Chains A and B, each alone.
Chain A
Amino acid sequence: MATTLRQQTNPAASPLVGIGYRWQIDAWTRANLEYFDVLEITVDHCIYGGARQRAAIEDLAGRVKLTAHGVGLSIGTDVPLDLAYLDRVAEVVDRLRAPTYSEHLAFTRVPGRDLGNLLPLPRTEAVAKALIAKVRTVQARVPVPFLLENIANVFEWPDSALSEAEFLGLICRETGAGILLDVENLYVNAHNHGVDPHAFLDALPAGSVREIHVAGGIEWRAAGLKAPFRADSHSHPAPRGALDLLDRTLARQTPTAIVLERDDRLEATDEILSDVARIRARLAKTRTPARHVAVA
């Protein structure tokens, strides 16, 4: 398998490429750190995780660049933000020396119930207005650029008047927040909801995409479903279609980091390295690094 070591490039010219850090494969990640320019840390693991996990993550802070990604904010739940949680996020971001903090444009819970899954919001101007206020609160509380990520949604609210690109673009334009573009989520939504992924990408302002997520999922077949459903399970190699969307994104955007997300079948580490190599190969087509080190 052809593998590619970390690029010896000017980070300002080429996005950093790496993976989402997972505690279950901590030892393997450290043994293969040379393949990653960056590791994305889930801030909630630093806040709620065990002492050993937290220590392991903080030990990485001086060894490799780290970005901060959250899953616990539930910014879309229509209640005031948990300011104490945001303050803890700010502490984590500071300890990790992370240049950005990202979260999902979604909600996961309401008081008394937590689904543990990302749910879409009705894409209306009224909801966007409420979210704009919340994004400003996050920006005031966490002193690094804040990014919003598009999600893969299973269902749609019937009163969504704006497209996903319009909704995300409106919030980011009004607040100055950046976008964490998940190309796999876009690929999945194109399949499941008929979203035009090219129109989505073309609608995003140039320069608004600061980071990118890549992942691979599964096809779900069940009685009652009119067609197979693609699930963003983070369990398999990234599909070619998602990488094609990465190409299109890189033609207009200059993200600082591209992160491969993997949450299942973590023992298939060859697949993880292969996906990182595939991302670098796509990147090489659109960028000319100052110097590139490759091994077969």
Chain B
Amino acid sequence: MKLVFSWLKEFVDIDIEPERLAELLTLKGLEVSDCYPVGKGLDKIIAGRIVDIKRHPKSDRLYVCDVDTGASLIPVVCSAPNLKKDMITALALPGTRLPNGMEIKEVEIRGVKSKGVLLAEDELGLTDDHSGIIELSSNIAPGTSLTEALSVEDWVLDIELTPNRGDCASVLGIAREVSAITGTPLKMPSIEYKELDEEADQVSSVIINEPEKCRRYSAGIIKDVNIRSSPFWMRYRLYLADIRAINNIVDITNYVMLELGQPLHAFDMDRLKGPKIIVRCAKEGEEFTTLDGVTHKLFPEVLLICDAERAVALAGIMGGLNSEIEEDTKNVFLEAAFFDPVTIRRGAKLLGISTEASYRFERGVDIEAVTVALRRAISLMYKLADGKPLKGIIDNYPIPYRPFSITMSVKKANRFLGTSLSKEKIKGYLSALKMEVKDIDEDKIGVIPPSFRMDISREADLFEEIARLDGYENIPVTLPYIRPSEQEEAQELRFEQDIRNIMVGMGFTEIITYSFISPEFRNSIGIPGNFVTIINPLTKDQSVMRTSLVPGVLEAIKTNISYNEYNLRLFEIGKVFIKRGEEELPEERSFLCAGVTGLWDIKSWYGRERKADFYDVKGAVETLLRSISSKPFSFEKKDAPSWYEQGEYASVCVDSYVLGHIGKVSSDVLKRLDIEQDVYLLELDLVGLSRYFVEPRRFKAYSRFPAVYRDISIIVKKEVESRRIEQIIKRIGGDILEAVHLFDLYEGGKLASDEKAFGFRIWFRSMKGTLEKKEVDKIYDEIIKTIIDETGGRLREA
């Protein structure tokens, strides 16, 4: 909300600089996000009097004026439609720089010299008005600087109001705060006007069908107004507050709203049908055209102001086109009401309209001050629009405001805040905020909040007011004793952090991608499942919750490749969302997904380059799993999810559970994503792992005796898996087998094309004593024999 400093000063004396005030307000909870001077740079521009106006000899649009500068008479060429003889206006002489940076020069316009420029308000940087040159008060002497003539130098404070402080959405509201903070008394604007004898409530009446939704409706009737543009000072303040000037009547309603916080609406009374105003709810499907020309289909939740025949305004939101003030309006029906905040908010939301009025009604206006604002506006219409108010006002107030008292304990306040404020001090703060305070007993006080503080109803609300006025900075800093708790920690975060550490240790870089993905991306990868869908996504690309981390990882790979980063090892740890019932929370499950592409080893002075392949991601899984538990796991050939290449895929299994996948991304998927290099993925279900795989480590005693090894080189058919031979070695090796290590895999050469040779080194060691050669040889021979028997292999000759 934009607050004009000079306006504020009409309500409360302020003897500090605007910037200091901004800081003070911020520290008291009214955050000033910006504070800037306005109306600067006009000291070189002077008032000039138009002495004579002649037509330009060569133009129909242009005039040549003789302008009195106070020192001399100069010719000025001008096209303004509002030129008048003896008019005092703004004049910039050659050499002057305008607030918008333009420099004025002496020029010749179609053969006529122009020694200056007459200026409109927008050229002066004052308002956006360009309808004509500015008209200054006739008693200003030519030659007076505009800074002096207009007193436009001012400051604007931009205040970010929190939703609870609707009472501060006005000059008066801020002034009340300043008054409470500084102890300076509040001043109220004058309300003076002469009334006609005819009584307002004899001419019209208000019927409220929904007293809960419209708790007060007051109105005044002003006759014979003259519609014109508002005086400069009013338009200037509206402009500074970001409100467009329309005409004097509409401007006054806006001006009083900004000033007192009470939205007002002026109807053209002659366009209202019948003598009555009715406040009722809209009917389903009823249509209404607001004054911006938009026709809305209404809902029963929307409250309407109606005349005898039809709706004339959306209560508290916007007036209707059928009854708005026009150029020829004579008689005004002026509304000031209190509408229920929830009703207005619901209506505004349903219709998708938000106005200055609805903003204030949603936050609650001062129900007791509704008629104050009404009279203030009437007085301005009397003064600025030549209006003749009827006697009195109409005031239908079916549910009057009932003040209530809050009992507050001073001891509790001090304990809660950690302060030691005296009862008197606390009473002083609350009184300064216009609360009525009474002693109940030694400790307790009774506090009646003012009608405009709709945010205060409980002890805690009072504690905040006390802390705020005393100053948060004055509350002593203490440290609590935090009692240790037996409740459990979130183990899954610790587990995820362990995984993260290992992945980074293995050279993988962590990424974080959005939890929502594009349905098309999902389709192009072929991820199945029931998706959790966002009904109001920002873009369609972010409209379904992921059920897999794969899209994010592939996307990141694609992005990096597009920046010429071809060798990547990326991973993400995050949740996927699996839909359950329509209104049920989805299952959220943590996953790890890693993607590898490009070279695993780059070419170096000590080694050759090597492309990443299946065994790199497999190795990563092996190292990762071995790091977190010593429980066995295996890789099995199973049906691959659709985004893998069936032939280069394995499931990661623990017991009978599939807890992850490794493999090569299918060429179809890569083609659809425009990725032109092989990508290998690793996916692990972290919830499954922590549940079925992680188990406490147990120490196993190991042998103190020496170990011996034997090497085996055996030729088998290509389809024989290394694991099969390893299992035979382990089975036959029994107790004394310590370890098996595959040190060689050989194909080609003297071998047949369907053959390969494995080289295993087998380590033996006994818990019971030093192994004898005989013993080892016997088992070794047995191993060879079994392998040959079971796999059809043969020993490879040395």
Q: Please determine whether chains A and B interact with each other in the same assembly.
A: no
Q: Which residues of A contact B (CB under 8 A)?
A: none
